[in-house]
Chains A and B, each alone.
Chain A
């Protein structure tokens, strides 16, 4: 019974709420019950049932008054990266143990104003650095999907692994994610849900714990393209507290979903055909191409010549920005402070606090960032990476100038892999997960992952569509057509 409600899409729930067939309180209780029964997934790491119940009561009052924005009474999960007032917000890191923000992030504030209900905070890789949710201080989030009858625990992807697992397992109706190199789109693809990274600047970053400020962007993770459109509309908009947020009107994204993509030009970039790419990914990509063609789009082969250099550029720029952003965790203003020995001064306090508080991957990236920004290497690494970034962006601009309106690629180079499977690999092997998504962050473009099929082992696979800057509405509409053609309706078996 509770699953019947928690598995609704936002659209279905909204219509039932408005029709008075269900209350926000009932929906919320159903989700809370599902969450209580799903600890094995490690998705919700801070549960907030009191807040959820209070918000649901408020939403029911608003619904009763006939004042019901789209998200009124819709229970959501919030990634731990978002600061939520009075509720633990620690970016999956031990260094923020005990931190309870005195303020609300702009995104969560806007969601609450739109009537959304917060069920709790969701697991993630520490400071969003990871592609498998294995770097979290809370422990792993687990993919609700399994390979056939094999009970090997699989990763839900990362960094928004908790968000992906929660949505895929129907613990909530939708969730917030953030995406710096693929952290919304890769987990969405691994769990058979839809995830959108908006254009850089579309959504305010204020109150979102920073990883790499020129790449970070928050976005929706949901059960359908339409749900993502509704969530994005509530999350987006100019914010005086984020000087990089764009002062552009936020369109009615949902109204732009006509499903009509006849005559639209979709590019297929040849450089995304990677050596060693599994046949199944290649086949899915070809199917996606045929689906869009079948819907009346014009498919053209395009070239994005600098694609190969996106990951190396990212692994200079993101660590460089992270080393600067994470300098604030010093044991002075918030979070963990190491116990000091007799005679320890302030430098020992910093060094011990950061050694104890940061996990291995975060330390590695902070130090790589420190190195590439250090005297003598700044030009060779950091400036060169920023020049390559400019070239990657130019590749896309030239494709769009040539009439391409969206670009179709695979979302990930594989289906979800086993937790622990990459433990022995060197860090670079894990980084390759983001090979198809990271270009989009470097170029600041919107990108969406749509579930499009299952592999031989029964695991979901996703396709990615990349859009022009600020054209999320058009991108969502293309994704909507792809979703309709793919007809992906599979759900994981409830084993948890």
Chain B
């Protein structure tokens, strides 16, 4: 599997990272080096093997579905680059 410039551009878009046009060829080259390394996985016989989903075979802890925390608006907004009137502020989303 080889990654071309078009694919590199698409991946950058999906990852929401602006990549200048002139950097795309080098990026595609790096992807190809990494994916070339990953290709080795194709050699392994994984017939009948279930993908690992949990590191240790244990049931995750459950708790009552109740409110345990809250009323922390000021703390939650304290680190926001732009907060107004108790909300996170972002550029206009809907025209």
The 8 Å CB contact of B15, one of A100, A101, A367, A388, is A367
* Smallest beta-carbon distance A282→chain B, Å: 24
Residues in B with CB closer than 8 Å to A300 are: none
Q: Can you name the residue of chain B whose Cβ is closest to the Cβ of A99?
A: B79
Residues in B with CB closer than 8 Å to A346 are: 90-93
Interface check A201, CB cutoff 8 A: yes
Interface check A240, CB cutoff 8 A: yes
Residues in A with CB closer than 8 Å to B46 are: 384, 387-388, 391
Cross-chain contact A387 with B34 (CB below 8 angstroms) = no
A35 to B32, CA, bound (A): 43
Cross-chain contact A391 with B44 (CB below 8 angstroms) = yes
Residues in A with CB closer than 8 Å to B93 are: 345-346
Residues in A with CB closer than 8 Å to B8 are: 367
Interface residues of A in 331-357 (CB under 8 A from B): 331-337, 340, 344-352, 354-355
Known: A312-B40, A387-B46. A244 touches B60 (CB 8 A): yes
Interface of B is mostly: loop
Chain A interface category by residue count: 35 or more
Cross-chain contact B27 with A367 (CB below 8 angstroms) = yes
* Number of B residues, CB within 8 Å of A: 51
Residues in A with CB closer than 8 Å to B66 are: none
* Smallest beta-carbon distance B71→chain A, Å: 13
Interface of A is mostly: helix
Cross-chain contact B52 with A332 (CB below 8 angstroms) = no
Cross-chain contact B19 with A355 (CB below 8 angstroms) = yes
* Smallest beta-carbon distance B52→chain A, Å: 4
Known: A243-B60, A469-B56. A332 touches B88 (CB 8 A): yes
Residues in B with CB closer than 8 Å to A333 are: 76, 79-80, 88
Cross-chain contact B14 with A363 (CB below 8 angstroms) = no
Interface residues of A in 74-96 (CB under 8 A from B): none
* Smallest beta-carbon distance A86→chain B, Å: 10
Cross-chain contact B55 with A200 (CB below 8 angstroms) = yes
The 8 Å CB contact of A337, one of B38, B49, B50, B81, is B81
Cross-chain contact B16 with A347 (CB below 8 angstroms) = yes
Known: A345-B93, A354-B18, A427-B33. A331 touches B81 (CB 8 A): yes
**Stretch with Cβ within 8 A of B (4 or more), from A7-15, A368-376, A480-488:** A368-376
Interface check B67, CB cutoff 8 A: no
Cross-chain contact A390 with B51 (CB below 8 angstroms) = yes
Closest 4 A/B residue pairs (Cβ): A386-B51, A337-B81, A444-B55, A334-B79
